[in-house]
Each structure stands twice: as structure tokens, then as C-alpha cells.
Chain A
Amino acid sequence: MKIMVAIKRVVDYAVKIRVKPDRTGVETQNVKMSMNPFCEIAIEEALRIKEAGLASEVVAVSMGPVQCVDTLRTGLAMGADRGIHVEATAPLYPLSVAKILKALVEVEKPGLLLLGKQAIDDDCNQTGQMVAGLLNWPQGTFASKVVIDKEKQEVTVDREVDGGLETLCLDLPAVITTDLRLNQPRYATLPNIMKAKSKPIKKFTPQELNVNVKPDLEVVEVTEPPKRKAGILLSSVDELIDKLKNEAHVI
């Protein structure tokens, strides 16, 4: 079985983002970019499945500008076997990404498609569900545990849901999106970073895959969230109780 993992290049999670003065978006020039943390977890899971002898190959795919190749190289340095880059200059919304992924699935025929549960830039949490719908594959979203049964061609997924944990059993091929607690991603070692440079990265464009990326959403403006008014530091518990009771009226 082949595993395909979708990864996204995003502003590093530790960066304090700045809204552009013209309100068209968030400043991404000269800002540290990294692989979306949920995507790292997806790659790690794919590698663990391969290391357990349940998969033959891990293919990392990313779409967006040329710089996405750097993100793919990070995935290859972690241990993915090869990469696919779909170059697109216009911003891609999850629907277009899902359509491109579907087209790539038809080329590569993987038995499992792994994604992160959401990207930390647009916070959409949609792509995995959408590609599963387009492929008519079952979906295991927000996964915190994944167990593959090779004989039965099934995967058992523990999902983090509002009321606790839910366990589902899905027929393969399936789409799984990863939650934070699924695993601890490995670091790429220096020799593996060197090795990753010679691993192949195939190129496509959305046109070559016959995907129309015309968006049906339009960003009107991006603004800073309203600031909370500055609070005060108190010196004792008595003072705190007094404020909560007589000023804020919340207890």
C-alpha cells in the first residue's frame, strides 16, 4: 500500500503575525515559514505505518508557490520517499486543494490519504473532509490513534470528539486527518536532510490535472481583533474577591 500525505507551508506557529496596513491580509514577506504542525504529525504517522511494514511508500504532496518545495524537502528529510509539487500562484481554498488531491489520488492510487486536521493559518478544517467526499472514501477526522488491519483492509481510528473519544472502523482506502495527540513528529537528522536533496519531486500544475481553481470566496478585508482593555494587577486574594464581587459582578 502506498500512503499519500498532504502538507502545507504556513507561517511558523511561533511567529506573532501582523495584519497588513492596507487590510488585504497578513504580512508573509520576510516571515519564517514552516510545515503546518498538523501536517508534520500526518507525515510522522505515515512513516510509522511504513516502518511497521504496512505500507510500501510514502508520497508527500504540497501545493502553492515555488517555496513549497522547501516544505516538501523537510517532509523528505523526515523520511518520505518522494514528493509532488503542484505549483499554483493564486491563493488556493480548501475546495481547490481537495480537487487537486483527488486528481493526484487518481494518478498515484494510494491506499491511504493522510492530512492534518487544520492549517494554522486559515484555520479552516475542511480539506480532508472535502477530498474524502469527492473520492467517496470514508473519513476518520481528528484522529488520535490509527491502527491498520492489513488482512481485512480496514483501519480503526480513535477520534477526538466534543464528548470524549469515538472509535470508528473504516474500509481502505480512506482519508484520515490528524489531531495533535496522534504522535510526536521526529526531527530530520543532518544525513537525512542531505539525502532528501536527491529524492525526486514531481511537478504538476492545476491545469495539467484538469482542475479549475477559480475561487468562490473573496477576502473583503483582514483586521486586527479588538484589543481587550488593559487589566490591573492585584496584590491579594481579598482584593480579587472584592473586585469580582463589586466591580465585575461575576460572583
Chain B
Amino acid sequence: MIARTLFTAFKTSILPSSSSQLLPLFSSSPCRSVTTLVLAEHDSGSINAASLSAIAAAASLSKHTSISLLLAGSGPSLHQAAQHAASCHPSISQVLVADSDKFTYPLAEPWAQLVQLVQQKNGYSHVIAASGSFGKNILPRAAALLDVSPVTDVVAISESRQFVRPIYAGNALCTVRYTGADPCMLTIRSTSFPVPAKSIELASNKSAISEVDLSMLDVDSIGKSRYVKQTSPEAERPDLANARVVVTGGRGLKTAENFKMIEKLAEKLGAAVGATRAAVDAGFVPNDLQVGQTGKIVAPDLYMAFGVSGAIQHLAGIRDSKVIVAVNKDADAPIFKVADYGVVGDLFEVIPELLEKLPGIK
């Protein structure tokens, strides 16, 4: 307990300006201090957008929170990412770096052990990751090692241990309270925790960067899984999960050739391309474009669906879009129940007309 207090004291000493303002609040508040570990993904020297959302979620847990970021990898790009991490959010008090060739690829086995190691040393109250394939792969494994129940896909934080998450493909919202021991572990839906633009550029305070002592990692069990390769389709367009505009095609497109119309329209709007499961299964596009319960969850300003019927599994992935446009020749298609603007018509006539009449990207 003394060590814990000292640790907190150490962290507040890094942030003298902000912590002094928080002190009066701290003493009057009944809730215990929130110390959060955020598992961050990095890519070519910076923290990725989903992890920035996880930091935003961590910051919203409590008014007086201190956040530690955990980064793992190997080589110069890791340390470059750590520099970026140190100044990417004012609530970050510490950046922990695990540099080892065991972390060259984000495998669950060494990562889960790393989280367990860091948790046992520093005793965080919360551990958070974004709910992408990285977080969903690693966090539950780490939670099992720590013997706690994690909470998946949090869309709202009502108290530091009470969260809202969608169940049944988003057809119901469930409020859950975590009653177990520390840490409380969450994956958060990044579209629900947008990153304020200014915090990305904030570089006024730099937090401490320290290396994690990896001598305790159990190397034998880590060797049981090996990375072979990754195949990623070339992506010139904006990232689907974070795009401002998303144009999606469904089975109604009929062929992969016709799907090019969707791509053309996306190009004109500076939009990302999405697809329904039917379009992916029919082989029109690769599966990482799938939007829905089992694919990506999107929440763009504008979502345009062409030839999409609107199965509940698909709607689960687009429910939080600001404006939904649907073009379908079946006036009874369920997509029209959620669309703000609907056009009942043949997409093979509507898309060319849109291509002709739409203004380009602003």
C-alpha cells in the first residue's frame, strides 16, 4: 500500500501544473484514484487512431486519472512511437516501453504475459485497449491470467466501474457493473470515444518514458506461436473505421466488376469503401471491408448504402452514423427504416447520376 502511494506520488510529481488544480477535487471526492494502463498499438512511429480513442476513454473514467501507456515492439520505430505517445494526451503520466524481438509482431502470448507483468508490478485500477483485432485478441487472454472478467466493446462509461455495451448485434444496450478485484479490464469501441483534434497536436508536457524489465517473461511458453506473414490489400483510401464518409455496396451490385462503381463514387467523395457480408462472400471485395456485427463498426458523418438490404447484423455496424443514405430498388428493404434519406430506385442508374452530379471533395 505504501509502495502504491509512493507510486502515485511519483506520477503526480511529473504533472505539477495539472495535479495541483485537481487536488481540492481529489480530497472531496469519495471515489478512489483511477490509474489506468492503456495498451497501445503503433504503426510507423506513431500511436494509431484507435489507441488514441482508448486514451480518450481512459481520460473519461474519472476527473483525476493518471494514464500509463504500454507500447511493445522492437527497433527505432518503437522508440519514435514512444516519443509520440509521451506528448499525445495531457493525462498521460508515463509511457512504458517493452523492446524485444518477442514483440516484433503483436502476438497474444507474449503480450498477455507483458500485461500481467506490468499489472503485478504497478497495480493499475483499469486496463483498456481499443476493440480492434489487436485488443480483442490480447486483452481477454491477459484478463484470464489476472483472473478477472473483461468487458468488451464499451460504448459509454457511466461510472469508473459501470459501463454500457451493445449486446445481440446492437439490438439491446446492457449496463454492467464490474464488482471484481483490480484491474477492471475493458475494450472500448473507438467510434464511441472520438479524439478531440487538439489533443493530438498537444506537445506542451512530455511524460516520462521508461523501459519495462522483461527478465521475468517466460520465454518457453511464448515460443509456442510464431508469426508467418501478413497479407494486406493495398489501401489508398481512408481507413474504413475512421473515415468521414463511407460508401458501401451489397449483394445488389451483382458482380465484382460492378463494385468498381462504388469505388469510383468513394474516390469522388474522398470516402472509404465498405461492403456487406453478402458482397464479401460473393467475392466482390476482400473481407476486411466488411461492415457489421462481425466486421468493422463505423460511425461516419455520411454513410451511403447501395444495394444493401439492411440485415440486423449489418445495421449493428452502422447504427451510430450521423446521416445514412440508402439506395435500393426494394421499397420494403429494412435499410429504409434506419436511413435518413432513401431513394427507391435502380442503383445502376442512381450511381452514374450521382457520379455526374455530385461535387467533388471539399
> Does A204 make an interface contact (CB < 8 A)?
no
Contact mask B172-188 → A, CB, 8 Å, 1/0?
11111111110000000
Residues in chain A near residue B132, CB distance under 8 A:
162
> Does A66 make an interface contact (CB < 8 A)?
no
Of B58-66, B89-97, B194-202, B341-349, the one contacting chain A is B341-349
Contact of A162 among B145, B180, B288 (CB under 8 A): B288
Chain A residue at minimum C-beta to C-beta distance from B327: A240
B172 touches A164 (CB 8 A): no
Contact of A233 among B224, B227, B344 (CB under 8 A): B344
> Does A161 make an interface contact (CB < 8 A)?
yes
A130 touches B144 (CB 8 A): yes
Residues in chain A near residue B181, CB distance under 8 A:
216
B354 touches A170 (CB 8 A): no
Contact mask A93-127 → B, CB, 8 Å, 1/0?
11100100000000000000000011011111111
> Does B16 make an interface contact (CB < 8 A)?
no
B143 touches A126 (CB 8 A): yes
Of B5-13, B149-157, B254-262, the one contacting chain A is B149-157
Chain B residue at minimum C-beta to C-beta distance from A220: B175
Contact mask A141-170 → B, CB, 8 Å, 1/0?
110100000000000100111111111111
**Whole-angstrom distance between the Cβ of A217 and the nearest chain B Cβ:** 5
> Does A215 make an interface contact (CB < 8 A)?
yes
Residues in chain B near residue A224, CB distance under 8 A:
172-173
**Whole-angstrom distance between the Cβ of A127 and the nearest chain B Cβ:** 8
> Does A190 make an interface contact (CB < 8 A)?
no
A131 touches B144 (CB 8 A): yes
B228 touches A168 (CB 8 A): yes
A231 touches B324 (CB 8 A): yes
Chain B residue at minimum C-beta to C-beta distance from A160: B287
B173 touches A132 (CB 8 A): no
CA distance A248 to B321 in the complex (A): 12
Number of A residues with CB within 8 Å of any CB on chain B: 81
B108 touches A231 (CB 8 A): no
**Whole-angstrom distance between the Cβ of B40 and the nearest chain A Cβ:** 15
Contact mask A208-251 → B, CB, 8 Å, 1/0?
00000001111111111100110111111110110111001011
Of A11-19, A47-55, A73-81, A192-200, the one contacting chain B is A11-19
Contact status of A139 and B287, CB under 8 A, knowing A120-B168, A123-B169, A251-B358? no
CA distance A139 to B226 in the complex (A): 11
- Among B136, B169, B301, B353, the most chain A Cβ lie within 10 Å of the Cβ of B136
B301 touches A250 (CB 8 A): yes
Contact of A93 among B149, B162, B228, B287 (CB under 8 A): B149
B171 touches A238 (CB 8 A): no
CA distance A121 to B269 in the complex (A): 36
Contact of A170 among B147, B225, B245 (CB under 8 A): B225
Contact status of A170 and B172, CB under 8 A, knowing A215-B149, A244-B325? no
> Does A180 make an interface contact (CB < 8 A)?
yes
B153 touches A133 (CB 8 A): no
**Whole-angstrom distance between the Cβ of A22 and the nearest chain B Cβ:** 14
Contact of B176 among A168, A219, A223, A240 (CB under 8 A): A219
B177 touches A220 (CB 8 A): yes
CA distance A159 to B136 in the complex (A): 13
Additional 20 contacts, C-beta under 8 A, given A160-B133, A225-B172: A13-B313, A93-B149, A95-B144, A123-B152, A123-B293, A124-B152, A132-B144, A139-B108, A139-B109, A141-B108, A142-B133, A167-B227, A174-B225, A180-B277, A221-B175, A232-B341, A233-B331, A237-B343, A250-B322, A251-B302
Interface residues of B (CB under 8 A from A): 107-109, 112, 132-134, 136-145, 147-153, 162, 165-181, 221, 223-233, 241, 245, 269, 277, 280-281, 286-288, 293-294, 296, 301-302, 312-313, 319, 322-325, 331, 336, 338-344, 350, 353-354, 357-359, 362
- 10 residue pairs, one from A and one from B, having the closest CB atoms: A216-B180, A164-B232, A133-B144, A130-B144, A129-B140, A138-B225, A126-B140, A133-B141, A167-B228, A138-B224
